[in-house]
């Protein structure tokens, strides 16, 4: 009787475990889900000493790691017994080409073409808004990765997998924004099945593009299908540097009327107002031009040495980078700073996986938002 009782318990536990694995993706931020993604992300860099600092993922196993491509980009594919898959994008590594990708920070339109080689052109449409623009370095990285990722998505779908999580930390987070927008656009173009479901965790991600890209991305994922997790002590989510000019506003705005209004004023008020207007307007424009010159045109020469036949779209004349996505703010407290004290010589003190996981653990119970609609609806 005792043995039969034990067997029954084992059967029930097995059934409950299987039921847990089989749960479909749900919208909303979930602490445990995010932490599991971080355990995966810590293993995507390929540094065994680094990954040994973190627990192994409980629900997923890695089935594929890509070759290095683009500017030191790489991704892993993980799966769970219940039919979920994780696309984990590597962040910056300690190699010059990886850092070069971050500094290649001019903007290009969020739709267009990139020539990756003499034989291959990557066509992308991250949004239909012609005003949207994104970071060219991470777009190039996404283009190389997407060539490898999309066929794997299609293959897993044919074997029954419909739920995919996308995770990236640091540079990987910046690329995750662009990849998320890209796979949704493929669905709209009927190049990926409409019943695929994607959920994204951009962790410690930098700013991926301008305000109009942010609007498009947030509208696409606003029902709880994408999150931007930020340690408030981390400097990486504050970059790239933002330069806003009067050209970065919507068409209907008071600044557009200013030159005409100034012209109609009587002398000498018109001269004084024009002088003030130019003092406010010109410095931002000059700063934007310099930013594009040094982190676009000049940096591109180094990039083209590494990727011989690369050709990118013409730069979008803006550097109005903004924080993007629904944000989960990890707010440091006194205990945090005792564990991770400020140290100007350790610039990544607040950026790595460990401080993010430390603060995530303090968030309390996991929770879901009530919306359960498909992303973009």
pLDDT, tens digit, for every residue of 200-218?
A: 999 999 999 999 999 999 9
What is the pLDDT at residue 263? 84
Q: What is the model's pLDDT at position 45?
A: 79
Give the pLDDT confidence of 279-301 residue by residue, as tens digits.
889 999 999 999 999 999 999 99
d(CA 45, CA 51): 8
Phi, psi (5° rounding) for residue 262?
A: -60, -40
CA distance 193 to 323: 30
- Evaluate if residue 17 carries a pLDDT over 50: no
Ramachandran angles phi, psi of 348, nearest 5°: -105, 20
Domain boundaries, the chain: 26-243+300-361
- Could you give the CA distance from residue 29 to residue 165 in angstroms, rounded to a whole number? 12
Res. 324 pLDDT band, cuts 50 70 90 = very high
Domain 26-243+300-361 has CATH 3.40.50.1820: yes
Band (78; pLDDT cuts 50, 70, 90): very high
Q: What per-residue confidence (pLDDT) applies to 264? A: 84
pLDDT confidence of residue 273: 75
Rg over CA atoms, the chain: 23
- Confidence band for 313, pLDDT divided at 50, 70 and 90: very high
Contact partners, residue 277, CB within 8 Å, separation at least 6: 258, 259, 262
pLDDT at 13 over 60: no
Task: Write out pLDDT tens, residues 118-134.
Answer: 999 999 999 999 999 99
Using alpha carbons, list the distances in angstroms from residue 37 to 2, 146, 173. Answer: 40, 20, 12
- Tens of pLDDT, residues 347-366: 999 999 999 999 999 997 66
Strand order in the sheet with 61-65: 61-65, 75-79, 84-89, 163-169, 197-203, 226-231, 327-330
> Count of CB atoms within 10 A of residue 244's CB?
17
pTM: 0.91
pLDDT score, position 22: 58
Give residues with Cβ within 8 angstroms of 270, minimum separation 6.
Answer: 262, 263, 264
pLDDT interval class at 314 (50, 70, 90): very high
Phi-psi label, residue 219: left if phi above 0, alpha if psi -120 to 50, beta otherwise? alpha
* 193 in Cβ contact with 157 (< 8 Å): yes
Write out the two tokens for 313: 């779209």
**Which residue has 């498909």 as its token pair?**
374
pLDDT tens digits along 168-179? 999 999 999 999
pLDDT per residue over 237-257, tens digit each? 999 999 999 999 999 998 877
What local confidence, expressed as pLDDT, does residue 367 receive? 66
The 3 state secondary structure assigned to the chain is CHHHHHHHHHHHHHHHHHHHHCCCCCCCCCHHHHHHHHHHHCCCCCCHHHHCCCCCCCCCEEEEECCCECCCECEEEEECCCCEEEEEECCCCCCHHHHHHHHCCCEEECEEEEEEECCEEEEEECCCCCCCEEEHHHHHHHHHHHHHHHHHHHHHHHCCCCEEEEEEECHHHHHHHHHHHHHHHHHHCCCCCCCCEEEEEEECCCCCECHHHHHHHHHHHCCCCEEEEEECCCCHHHCCCCECCHHHCCCCCHHHHHHHHHHCCCCCHHHHHHHHHHHHHHHHHHHHHHHHHHHHHHHHHHHHHHCCCCECCCCCCCECCECCCCEEEECCCHHHHHHCCCCCCCCCCCCCHHHHHHHHHCCCCCCCCCCCCCCCC
pLDDT over 80 at 44, yes or no = yes
Contact status, residue 71 vs residue 98, Cβ threshold 8 Å: yes
pLDDT exceeds 80 at position 3: no
The predicted pLDDT at position 375 comes to 60
Q: How confident is the model at residue 10 (pLDDT cuts 50, 70, 90)?
A: very low
Q: Could you tell me which residue, 1 or 267, shows the higher pLDDT? A: 267
Tell which residue, 202, 237, 207, has the closest CA to residue 351.
237
Residue 282 Cα distances to 133, 197, 277, 292, 294, angstroms: 22, 46, 8, 15, 18
Tell me the two tokens of residue 157: 């779908």
- Alpha-carbon distance of 335 to 224, in angstroms, equals 30
Q: How many Å apart are CA 239 and CA 206, to the nearest integer?
A: 6
For residue 366, the model assigns a pLDDT of 61
- Report residue 9's pLDDT band, with 50, 70 and 90 as the boundaries: very low
Q: pLDDT higher for 368 or 255?
A: 255
- What is the pLDDT at residue 374? 57
């Amino acid at each position: 009787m005792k043995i039969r009782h034990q067997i029954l318990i084992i059967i029930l536990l097995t059934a409950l475990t299987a039921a847990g694995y089989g749960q479909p993706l749900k919208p909303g931020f979930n602490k445990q889900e995010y932490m599991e993604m971080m355990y995966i992300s810590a293993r995507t860099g390929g540094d065994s000493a680094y990954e040994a600092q973190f627990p192994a993922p409980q629900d997923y196993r890695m089935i594929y790691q890509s070759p290095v491509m683009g500017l030191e980009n790489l991704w892993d594919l993980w799966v769970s017994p219940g039919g979920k898959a994780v696309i984990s994008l590597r962040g910056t590594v300690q190699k010059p080409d990886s850092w070069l990708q971050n500094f290649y920070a001019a903007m290009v339109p969020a739709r267009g073409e990139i020539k990756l080689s003499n034989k291959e052109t990557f066509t992308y449409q991250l949004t239909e808004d012609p005003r949207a623009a994104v970071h060219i370095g991470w777009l190039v990285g996404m283009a190389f990765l997407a060539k490898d990722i999309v066929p794997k998505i299609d293959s897993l779908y044919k074997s029954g997998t419909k739920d995919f999580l996308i995770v990236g930390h640091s540079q990987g987070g910046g690329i995750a924004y662009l990849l998320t927008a890209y796979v949704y656009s493929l669905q709209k173009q009927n190049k990926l099945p409409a019943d695929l479901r994607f959920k994204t965790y951009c962790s410690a991600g930098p700013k991926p593009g301008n305000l109009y890209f942010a609007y498009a991305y947030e509208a696409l994922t606003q029902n709880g299908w994408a999150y931007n997790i930020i340690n408030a002590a981390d400097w990486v989510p504050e970059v790239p540097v933002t330069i806003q000019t009067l050209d970065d506003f919507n068409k209907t705005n008071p600044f557009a009327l200013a030159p005409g209004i100034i012209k109609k004023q009587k002398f000498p008020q018109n001269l004084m107002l024009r002088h003030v207007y130019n003092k406010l307007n010109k410095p931002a424009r000059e700063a934007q031009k310099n930013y594009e010159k040094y982190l676009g045109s000049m940096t591109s020469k180094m990039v083209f040495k590494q990727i011989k036949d690369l050709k990118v779209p013409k730069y979008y004349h803006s550097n109005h980078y903004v924080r993007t996505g629904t944000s989960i703010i990890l707010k440091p407290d006194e205990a945090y700073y005792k564990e991770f004290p400020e140290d100007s010589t350790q610039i990544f003190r607040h950026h790595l996986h460990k401080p993010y996981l430390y603060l995530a653990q303090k968030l309390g119970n996991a929770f879901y938002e009530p919306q359960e609609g498909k992303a973009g609806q």
